[in-house]
Structure 1
Amino acid sequence: MYREFYGLREKPFSKTPDPRYLFLSRGHREALARLQYAVEERELALLTGDIGCGKTTISRALMDAMGEACRFCFIFNPRLSPLEFLRVIARSLGIDNPAGAKDELLKQLTETLYLMHAEGRCPVIVVDEAQLIPDRDVFDEIRLLTNYQLDDQNLMSVVLMGQPELRQILADPVHEPLRQRIALHYHLQPLSLDETLEYIDFRLEVAGGTPGLFSPDAVQRIHELSGGVPRKINILATNALLVGYGRDAAWIDASLVEELRDEANLY
């Protein structure tokens, strides 16, 4: 369809968190660098940002950047009991049959973590959508994971990612012990207008196209409608390409984007 019409090899504005399409704005570059440092130092890190700002994509880019020295455990749905949470981690670390009793499970985790340390590998636990954690006890388990350590370093790194309300949740006094262990905090901001232009052109080039397909006024309208949130930019840009293809439009202008305001379901 529109891919051939606009000379694209693949969809440039897909919703999947493909690290190839990670546009490193100033904020994204700093977030990735800070997370790399946290993993290298085996610390607990907190990354927040509005829905669609690119947190999950950054976590995938982090995994690629750290390479084989780290074993990543991604928890995408943290609506778990404390025991379920630990069992998910155990399976991700290669424990085929996690124990049902907590004391046995902790023993299995301890043995695995020391074995991985001896092999020179660092487990990295990434908890996405952490604002959905339903139980204070799960946050306590996350805090207790940082107790796995040697005299000079921790045995794992933990990255908590979530929407801005995660910071409000953690501000509760009951979470003070966990907050004190968070070595790195970063909040990911939406893209500026200039970054939105660079973002759109960057993704077009990665997909095999050429920059400039969207006129400057089209980019400005996309930025206004999306608020600079990458996921919303993707929705608008994809719909604009589809409509442009249907109209044999050689490029995308602001009038075309304006027609998509309601269709993109941004408000």
Structure 2
Amino acid sequence: MYREFYGLTEKPFSKTPDPRYLFLSRGHREALARLQYAVEERELALLTGDIGCGKTTISRALMDAVGNDGCFCFIVNPRLSAVEFLRTVARSLGIAEPAAAKDELLRQLTEAVYRLEGEKRCPVIIIDEAQLIPDQEVFDEIRLLTNFQLDDRNLMSVILMGQPELRQILSEPAHEALRQRIAMHYHLQPLSLEETLEYVDFRVEVAGGPQGLFSPDAIRRIYELSGGVPRKINILATNALLVGFGKDSAWIDASLVEELRDEASLY
């Protein structure tokens, strides 16, 4: 369809976190650098941002940056009981059959963490959508994971990622002990207009398309409708390409994007 029409070899605004399409704005670069530091120091970190701002993309970039020095556990749905949470972590650390009893499960986790330390690898537990954690007991287990230590260093890094309300949740008195252990905080902002211009051009070029496929006015309108949120930019840009293809338009201008104004409120 529109790919051949616009000289694209693939979809430039796919929702999948393909590392080839990783665009690091100033905010994304800083967030990634801070998370890398948290892993190097084996600290507890907090990354927040609105829906679609790129938190998950940054976590994938972090995994690529750390490479084999890390043993990553991604928890993408944290609606778990405390034992379910620990069993999920255990599987990611190489425990084939996590115990059902908590005391035995903790023994298995301890052995796995020290085994990884002997291999010079850092366990990195990344909990996405952490604002959905259902109860205090799970937060307590997250805090207790940071107790894996030697005399001179921690043995594990834990990264909490979530929407802005996660900060409000953690500000509650019940989470004081966990909050005090968070060594790195960062809130990811949407892209600026200039960054949106660079972002759209970058993704088109990676997909094999021509420079200037989207006019500056078109990208400005995309920015206004999306608020600079990458996921919304992707949806608007894809739909603009479909509209342009339907109209046999050689490039995407602001008038084509304007046709998506009513749809944009649904994203």
Gaps of at least 5 residues in structure 2 are none
CA apart distance, 1:265: 4.3
Aligned partner of 1:115 in structure 2 is: 115
The aligned runs of 1:17-28 (5 Å cut-off) are: 17-28=17-28
Identity %: 83
Q: Secondary structure at the match of 1:155?
A: coil
Structure 1 residue 121: Cα displacement: 0.8
Question: What is the match of residue 144 of structure 2?
Answer: 144
- The yes-or-no answer on 1:180 pairing with 2:185 is no
Match of 1:130 in 2: 130
CA contact (8 A) 1:36 1:62 kept: yes
CA distance in structure 2 between the aligned counterparts of 1:218 and 1:27, rounded to whole angstroms: 23
AA aligned to 1:12 is P
Q: Residue in 2 aligned with 1:98?
A: 98
Q: Distance in 2 between matches of 1:139 and 1:59?
A: 20
Write out aligned runs for 1:1-267 (5 A): 1-266=1-266
Distance 1:29 1:123 in 2: 23
| Distance in 2 (alpha carbons) for counterparts of 1:230 and 1:132 | 22
How far off is 1:137 after superposition?
0.8
Q: C-alpha displacement at 1:169, in angstroms? A: 0.2
> Is the CA contact 2:225–2:264 (under 8 Å) kept in the aligned structure 1?
no
Paired with 1:252 and 1:147, the residues of 2 have a C-alpha distance of: 54
Matched-pair contact (CA < 8 Å) for 1:239–1:264: no
- How far is the alpha carbon of 1:246 from its aligned partner? 1.3
TM-score by length of 2: 0.98
Distance in 1 (alpha carbons) for counterparts of 2:238 and 2:11 = 8
Any idea what the Cα deviations from partners look like across 1:136-182, whole Å, max 9, x if unmatched? 11011000000001111111101100000000000001101001100
Moved more, 243-252 or 182-191: 243-252
1:262 match: secondary structure: helix
- Which of 250-259 and 203-212 deviates more? 203-212
Question: Residues of 2 paired with 1:118 and 1:208: CA distance?
Answer: 45
Letter in 2 for 1:257: V
AA partner of residue 249 (structure 1): S
Distance 1:19 1:135 in 2: 34
Give the partner amino acid of 1:134: P
Q: Which ranges in structure 1 are unaligned for 5 or more consecutive residues?
A: none
Aligned alpha-carbon RMSD (Å): 0.9
What secondary structure does 2:71 align onto?
A: strand
Whole-angstrom distance in 2 between the partners of 1:142 and 1:21: 32
What is the CA–CA distance in structure 2 between the aligned matches of 1:144 and 1:101, rounded to whole Å?
17
- C-alpha deviation, 1:266, in angstroms: 3.6
**Which one-letter code corresponds to 1:227 in the other structure?**
G
* TM-score of the pair, normalised by structure 1: 0.98
- Counterparts of 1:60 and 1:210, CA distance in 2: 28
In 1, distance between residues paired with 2:241 and 2:264?
13
Question: Partner amino acid for 1:106?
Answer: L
